[in-house]
Amino acid sequence: MQEWSQLEIEEAVNGQETALIYLYTPMCGTCQMAGKMLTVTEQLLPDQKIGKADLNYMPQLAEQWGVESVPCLLIFKEGNLQGKLYAFRSVPYLLDRIRSIY
């Protein structure tokens, strides 16, 4: 999973495909576990765009999309925010939630 710049995030969000943006902070232990689950999820969905952003460097993203805490997975489809996930229960749970957006 690659770290996305502000420009890459804007391009992904405004695109016609489904895009996932993982918001985290490096000192968050739960974020580290969620990141590992998303890495596995990314391998199972190789065609899915998944990027990550450190909210310490992009706090405007939290304000822009009403993010209440980290970790947070934002799910966009055709430029619209379709969902926010705060509870990364398991890889199968993540897969089900992501696939339900398609």
pLDDT of 38-56, one tens digit each? 999 999 999 998 999 999 9
How much is the pLDDT for 16?
A: 83
| Contact call for residues 71 and 18 (beta carbons, < 8 A) | no
Q: Rounded mean pLDDT of the chain?
A: 93
Tell me 66's DSSP state. T
pLDDT band at 17 (very low <50, low <70, confident <90, very high): confident
Distance separating alpha carbons of residues 84 and 73, to the nearest angstrom: 6
pLDDT band at 1 (very low <50, low <70, confident <90, very high): confident
pLDDT at residue 102 greater than cutoff 80: no
3-class DSSP state of 56: coil
Structural domains in the chain? 2-101 (3.40.30.10)
| Contact call for residues 53 and 3 (beta carbons, < 8 A) | yes
